């Protein structure tokens, strides 16, 4: 039985095992996908387990998306994202060689989630809150969609400044100030807890804006609830999560020397699976 893992800390909330185990079953693949809470110094050992064949592939979540990078043989990510969330083995049947490859499927997940609801970023004013693990992937994806401006605000200024070094076109905004925008994206962890509140004065935002939260559990953070009350369009991170997982599954199922893997279906059943928690 092939074994897959999602690693992170905390990891309890992860719905990746549910999704991947469902897809493995649907595609008649004998494999099991588990979650594992790890510490920074466990990472080397886990990568060795991939090398020795004990583990077939892993997904990586907060806070290890950057720290796994030095352990890999090949990193195929947009460099600016500095973020790997999917690790798998690339086998060459002819030479017998094995390479441990890291990819970033968050950028694609974010892009597909917007295509799914037909939201067009081109020419729009985007306001990003946060400068955490997933933020660089989102900015990278956004830049490809050609917005007119990307503003970014983070409580800790240094982290925002670090992102600006990677993405010089970013316009940094002081934490607590909100500028005029078409779409606002919460990439902070504020909202995971029930009483979490972002510093936004909803009375001064205008109308018909688009509020996107990367968080999908809870389904509606205060950020989205308040926005909805004021009549704005809202979207949580569920479809981004599902699409990043779909791409990870495809990478996990690439056969040696083959070009593509299996693209598992996203249907009502799959989406319902994620509702029951």
What residues line the site for ligand ATR (CB under 6 A)? Answer: 62-63, 130-133, 154-156, 159, 188-190
Shortest distance in whole angstroms from residue 97 CB to ligand ATR:
34
| Order of strands, sheet of 74-76, starting from the edge strand that comes earlier in the sequence | 31-37, 2-8, 57-60, 86-91, 98-103, 74-76
Residue 112 Cα to chain centre, angstroms: 12
Rank residues 133 and 264 by Cβ distance to ligand ATR and give the closer one.
133
Q: Which residue is nearest to ligand ATR (CB)?
A: 132
Shortest distance in whole angstroms from residue 219 CB to ligand ATR:
19
Q: Could you identify the residue written with the tokens 């306001």?
A: 127
What is the rounded CA–CA span in Å between residue 186 and residue 114? Answer: 15
Rank residues 26 and 159 by Cβ distance to ligand ATR and give the closer one.
159
Q: Could you identify the residue written with the tokens 């249907």?
A: 267
Q: Which of 26, 30, 35, 65 is catalytic?
A: 65
Shortest distance in whole angstroms from residue 140 CB to ligand ATR:
15
Shortest distance in whole angstroms from residue 236 CB to ligand ATR:
16
| Torsions phi, psi for 76 (to 5 deg) | -110, 70
Rank residues 10 and 53 by Cβ distance to ligand ATR and give the closer one.
10
The number of CA neighbours under 13 Å toward the Cβ of 14 is 22
What is the rounded CA–CA span in Å between residue 109 and residue 245? Answer: 8
Rank residues 189 and 233 by Cβ distance to ligand ATR and give the closer one.
189
Q: Could you identify the residue written with the tokens 């925002």?
A: 160
Shortest distance in whole angstroms from residue 206 CB to ligand ATR:
23
Residue 65 a catalytic site member:
yes
Rank residues 85 and 246 by Cβ distance to ligand ATR and give the closer one.
85
> What is the set of active-site residues?
65
């Amino acid at each position: 039985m092939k074994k897959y893992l999602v690693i992170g800390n905390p990891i309890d909330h992860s719905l990746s095992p549910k999704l991947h185990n469902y897809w493995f079953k649907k595609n008649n693949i004998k494999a099991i996908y588990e979650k594992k809470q790890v510490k920074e110094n466990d990472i080397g050992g886990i990568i060795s387990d991939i090398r020795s064949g004990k583990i077939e592939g892993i997904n990586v979540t907060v806070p290890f998306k950057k720290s796994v990078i030095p352990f890999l043989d090949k990193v195929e990510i947009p460099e600016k994202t500095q973020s790997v969330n999917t690790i798998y083995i690339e086998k060459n049947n002819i030479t017998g060689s094995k390479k441990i490859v890291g990819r970033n499927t968050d950028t694609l997940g974010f892009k597909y989630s917007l295509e799914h609801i037909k939201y067009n970023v081109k020419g729009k004013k985007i306001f990003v809150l946060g400068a955490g693990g997933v933020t660089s992937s989102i900015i990278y994806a956004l830049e490809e969609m050609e917005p007119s401006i990307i503003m970014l605000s983070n409580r800790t200024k240094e982290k925002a400044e670090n992102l600006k070094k990677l993405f010089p076109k970013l316009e940094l905004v002081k934490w607590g100030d909100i500028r005029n925008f078409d779409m606002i994206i919460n990439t902070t962890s504020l909202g995971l807890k029930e009483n979490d509140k972002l510093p936004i004065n909803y009375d001064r935002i205008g109308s018909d804006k688009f509020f996107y939260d990367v968080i999908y559990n809870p389904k509606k953070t205060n950020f989205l609830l308040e926005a909805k009350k004021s009549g704005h369009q809202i979207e949580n991170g569920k479809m981004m999560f599902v699409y990043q997982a779909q791409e990870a599954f495809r990478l996990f199922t690439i056969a040696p020397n083959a070009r593509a893997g299996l693209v598992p279906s996203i249907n009502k059943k799959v989406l319902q699976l994620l509702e029951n928690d």
